[in-house]
Homo-oligomer: A and B are copies of this chain.
């Protein structure tokens, strides 16, 4: 590590920024010399008045600063500040998932052009060192799949639904009251947050740009306690899974949706706000990571980890610049959800008459969908049969065609839910 004091500029002094400030206090050779923050309410007790500015460009343009840490989130002014800092020859560390997901390629190119490091370990899964693991430790592997629980709020909700038998809406309301979920919860519960994160992991895993707009995305609002209980009976938990699968050198499958996860799969054991990632590499096989996915100090731990990696390099005649994997391939396409292969859990309410399961089975068979398990529960009032089907793997388009025909069948009252199963 270099002996000279390294000067660092910080954008944002909220939860993550405050954590970064606190950790860096312990490193005498690293000094935060300027902080851009509009609102310092969360960190009133930090003695930073003399180095505060309201303008992020004051940091990005400060010639004394060699590393800029961005913790304000969102696209602007973060993007402008980061590109300016890079053009000024500064290294940049960020925790900004939205920015990497939407503007990552552009920033990576710029960082390469200006010969600076741009690191973002904290942007996915908070304190879990998944990005360094994939870029560096697993570099000998061709990554075949990466699947994770990347959003703590939805995992907290699903865990609470499962353990305490409280329905989605009520858990969400409680989580909002406690500050675990946002007033507008869409980013979490509709899977946007997880989509940003899996776009970043899939980019690294498969060495290509992943268009955030092409990621299939489905949230957890349709999941009920009944689904969770039936899934459990079948040997599964229900989790919001973000996944990327390698198909061939030109095709990948990247998506976010609730999934039945086998109880023996490591991801099924992840409860509450914890995040987890399961990576399958052709040499190593399956490696699993779990830990805190958010929060002041866990996220700051990853930010400062990146920063220390850069500090170690500063002062060398020629720096090693960790960025994306090599051989970045621009010809990789995301396949649409219709073309993906899955097993499915289907919950149906039917009119109770003899042969109703047979009819559903026949419809499935007609579309090439083969069933692996069928459960029929006690009748509901009004003579309604509750049926759960579990299928073998089949193409989504075939499954959707079968669902459509089941919906139109005279015995069917409602297809209550269709949930994919994690392989």
Which A residues lie at the B interface, using CB under 8 A? 1, 19, 23, 121, 127-129, 132-133, 136-141, 266, 269, 281-292, 295, 297-298, 300-305, 307-309, 312-313, 316-320, 326
* A interface: dominant SS: mixed
Point out the residue from B23, B282, B289, B316 that lies within 8 Å of A140, measured CB to CB. B23
Number of this chain's copies in the assembly equals 2
Identity of the chain B residue whose Cβ is nearest the Cβ of A22 in the assembled complex: B283
Identity of the chain B residue whose Cβ is nearest the Cβ of A322 in the assembled complex: B312
9 A-B pairs with least C-beta separation: A129-B137, A140-B304, A287-B291, A317-B317, A127-B284, A284-B301, A283-B301, A316-B318, A283-B297
* Best-buried of A23, A138, A283, A291 by chain B (most CB within 10 Å): A283
A128 to B295, CA, bound (A): 25
* A–B Cβ pairs within 8 angstroms, 21 of them: A1-B326, A23-B283, A127-B281, A129-B287, A132-B137, A137-B305, A139-B308, A140-B301, A141-B301, A266-B269, A281-B301, A284-B291, A284-B297, A286-B291, A287-B289, A287-B292, A288-B290, A312-B320, A316-B317, A316-B318, A318-B318
A295 to B137, CA, bound (A): 17
* Contact A316 B308, beta carbon cutoff 8 Å: no
A139 to B132, CA, bound (A): 12
Identity of the chain B residue whose Cβ is nearest the Cβ of A321 in the assembled complex: B312
A287 to B139, CA, bound (A): 21
Identity of the chain B residue whose Cβ is nearest the Cβ of A24 in the assembled complex: B140
* Contact A138 B301, beta carbon cutoff 8 Å: yes
